[in-house]
Amino acid sequence: MKRKLVFQTLVLFLSLNAFAQKFELGKVSVEELKEAEHPKDPKAEAAVLYKKGRTYFEYNADKGFKTITEVETRIKIYKKEGYDWATFIINNYADSNKKESVSFSSAYTYNLVGGKIEKTKLKSEGIFVEKANNYWERNKIVFPNVKEQSIVEFKYTLESPFISTLKDWNFQMAIPVNHVEYMTQVPEYFIYKTQMKGALIPKTNKTSVSKTYTGKVTEKVNGDGGYKNVKSEVNINYIENQDTYVLKDVPAMADESYINNIDNYRSAILHELMSTKYPNEPYKDYSTDWETIVKNIYLGEFGSELGKRSYFEDDLNTILKGVTNPDEKIAIVFNFVKNRMNWNQYVGYFCEKGVRTAYKEKVGNTADINLILVAMLREAGIDVNPILLSTRDKGVAFFPNRNGYNYVIAGIQTPTGMMFLDATDKNVGPNILPFRALNWFGRVVRKDGSSDDVELVPTNLSKNVVNIMATLGNDGVLKGMYREQNFDYLAYVYRTQNGDLSEDKYLEKIEKTYPGLQIENYKVANKADIAKPVIEDYSFTHDGVVEKIGDKMYIDPMLFVAKTQNPFKQEKREYPVDFSFPNQEKYMINLTLPEGYKVESIPEAISMAMEEDMANYTFNITHAGNKIQLVVTLDTRWPIVPSTHYEGLKNFYKAIIAKETEKIVLKKA
């Protein structure tokens, strides 16, 4: 029995020792400063040597509980490209009612000078507090005297009155993390639901310790004048639940191409308040489901705003005078709201100004504008409902909670499916959502409070069609006409990226994309008419598509529009490939050959497809006399390709590039 007890004590000691590894601010070593590259990731520009945090609770008799999160971090800078890691930013919520606070301490830069450690303190001029918007402040520190091989370290403290959720704790970053640990110290009065996300799971240790609170509490006491708050001195014994999470040698999280929001895949832990049981008070359950949450949102935030009508009735009667067709009504009301209202860049599912004020001032947040749209369409006799969703930059909600959503659009059920409308963006049309709102799933909320998930990912192919008619001269210079048409989401991309550019700036952008191209007689149609595709026409010359060797010419079959680089370069992919929407690229090229030359060889035609029809590609080329015709089509049918199919996708693009960079060979007759 004694031997068993000794063994159990040894196991407990080893377990605690593993979680109590010493990392202390100010204990920077010469060896750390001498390190010229990360031992496990030599390409890393910087690395987190350690990051240690804990969240605990404090009680105030007047204000109740608050959470305090203390974080210590030490970062090694290896290369100049890593200097950005010597700037740290943390945001805190700050509105007129409740505010979080942030403070920094123990912030130093370390360098090795003449074999000795030089320590430079962060001064007040390196600390900045900026107003990000009406709700958030941005706290930034910029470390001084940063060089290659410097080390920076600091501590920050975040105090928050919001206990319904704890701050998410990220174990993984864009640079390697040697050691990261996090502890929560939660009084027994609070039960949190925890959720791990990401592929890396930390080692966890859970313990409970006895604590005593000595101080004042506020209680409601029933006296002669009714209930009143009374403060009293108390000694309260309670249990504190301590959970510690540790990860070591965490690899850098690369922000790969074609990704929705990398935070959706980052290894992290999330906490959501599930229930409370305060002394001498009944148990209170906060756990819920999405159906209950959206019903409460509808009855609360949406109900009163959607019931208002008088502020727009005269305008609605004017714009719909004589119109009876429902589709026409939808188009007219949608365009009216979109053109009248201006988005103030704030997202939310609750109104900032209220629909009446927003309509009058012609400006509002996402809820102001899109709830005006829903109300006007309903008044016009259209069966339309708000759809709640989470934006891409917010990420996917892991818990059913009111903060899981931060955006609202309008949805109309049609015989062919749900039609989505968002009047906050001038460049969108029906069923074209701004990319910020294109985030997998939303939830439609009906008048009776019922709700259902709706898929937001588009299913129809957005098309890009390019026509080139060109003639090749004996001098190797190509001349011709170019036409490009962009439909649906690809038209939206064009308008968003290029709508504000002058013609000169835009043509400069194209010519930079295709070196050697010179454009003349440029015309664009439907740039502002979102109901139609964007159509570009221009004449061109290009002197870089032909290589002359002896009596032969070597020509790129797709001239200057071939794919030459694979966008998928990583050996392995941890996250899905997100193309945002299904799309089709189609190229139709007619080439007239120079006099005195004949075709010696042309690439073979091919047709290939990925498994499950994720994508397919055809390359059809023919020639007759002095004419070559080429039709190339790439259909990307799956907007989201799972990481398990990454190797196949990478090889698919590799084959496309190999085909499009083959040569047409001409020989002097």
| Contact assessment for residue 379 and residue 368, using Cβ atoms and an 8 Å cutoff | no
Arithmetic mean of pLDDT, 360-370: 96
Cα–Cα distance for residue pair 657/647, rounded to 1 Å:
15
| Contact assessment for residue 159 and residue 100, using Cβ atoms and an 8 Å cutoff | yes
Residue 571 has pLDDT above 90, yes or no: no
| Contact assessment for residue 176 and residue 48, using Cβ atoms and an 8 Å cutoff | yes
Give tens-digit pLDDT for 526-562. Answer: 999 999 999 999 999 999 899 999 999 999 999 999 9
pLDDT band at 440 (very low <50, low <70, confident <90, very high): confident
Give tens-digit pLDDT for 22-47. Answer: 788 999 999 999 999 999 999 999 99
Of residues 618 and 218, more confidence is placed in: 618
Cα–Cα distance for residue pair 471/628, rounded to 1 Å:
10
Q: What is the H or E stretch that residue 49 is in?
A: strand 46-60
Q: Residue 119's closest CA among 130, 107, 128, 110?
A: 110
Cα–Cα distance for residue pair 386/389, rounded to 1 Å:
10
Arithmetic mean of pLDDT, 212-218: 86
Q: What is the H or E stretch that residue 649 is in?
A: helix 646-660
What Å distances lie between residue 204 and 14, 20, 186, 195, CA to CA? 14, 12, 15, 13
Residue 1 has pLDDT above 70, yes or no: no
Output the pLDDT for position 614.
Answer: 96
Cα–Cα distance for residue pair 456/437, rounded to 1 Å:
8
Give tens-digit pLDDT for 83-120. Answer: 999 999 999 988 777 899 999 999 999 999 999 999 99
Burial of 302 (0-12, 13-18, 19+ CB in 10 A): buried
Largest distance between two CA atoms of the chain? 114
Output the pLDDT for position 509.
Answer: 94
pLDDT band at 225 (very low <50, low <70, confident <90, very high): low
Per-residue DSSP letters for 1-29? -HHHHHHHHHHHHHHHHHH-----TT---
Of residues 217 and 401, more confidence is placed in: 217
Q: Where are the domains of the chain?
A: 2-285, 290-455, 462-668
Output the pLDDT for position 656.
Answer: 97
| Contact assessment for residue 438 and residue 415, using Cβ atoms and an 8 Å cutoff | no
Residue 386 has pLDDT above 70, yes or no: yes
Output the pLDDT for position 341.
Answer: 97
What dotted CATH number matches 290-455? 3.10.620.30
What dotted CATH number matches 462-668? 2.60.120.1130
Give tens-digit pLDDT for 322-347. Answer: 999 999 999 999 999 999 999 999 99
Arithmetic mean of pLDDT, 231-235: 85
Output the pLDDT for position 408.
Answer: 96
Output the pLDDT for position 21.
Answer: 53
Count of CB atoms situated within 10 Å of the CB of 263: 18
Residue 567 has pLDDT above 50, yes or no: yes
Arithmetic mean of pLDDT, 621-640: 96
| Contact assessment for residue 32 and residue 75, using Cβ atoms and an 8 Å cutoff | no
What is the SS3 assignment for 362? coil
What Å distances lie between residue 246 and 23, 183, 207, 549, CA to CA? 13, 9, 15, 63
Per-residue 3-state assignment (H helix, E strand, C coil) for 420-483: EECCCCCCCCCCCCCHHHCCCEEEEECCCCCEEEEECCCCCCEEEEEEEEEEECCCCCEEEEEE
Sheet containing 87-93: which strands, arranged edge to edge? 87-93, 136-142, 127-131
Output the pLDDT for position 116.
Answer: 95
Could you tell me how far CA 608 lies from the centroid of its own chain?
A: 32
Rounded to 5°, angle at Cα 236 from 235 and 238: 150
Count of CB atoms situated within 10 Å of the CB of 132: 13
Q: Which fold has domain 2-285?
A: Immunoglobulin-like (2.60.40)
583-592 vs 462-472, strand pairing mode: parallel
pLDDT band at 185 (very low <50, low <70, confident <90, very high): very high
Q: Please tell me what DSSP assigns to residue 499.
A: T
pLDDT band at 196 (very low <50, low <70, confident <90, very high): very high
Give tens-digit pLDDT for 287-311. Answer: 788 888 888 888 888 888 999 999 9
What Å distances lie between residue 359 and 302, 352, 385, CA to CA? 16, 12, 19
Contacts 24+ apart (CB under 8 A), 221-224: none
The pTM (predicted TM-score) of the whole model is 0.83
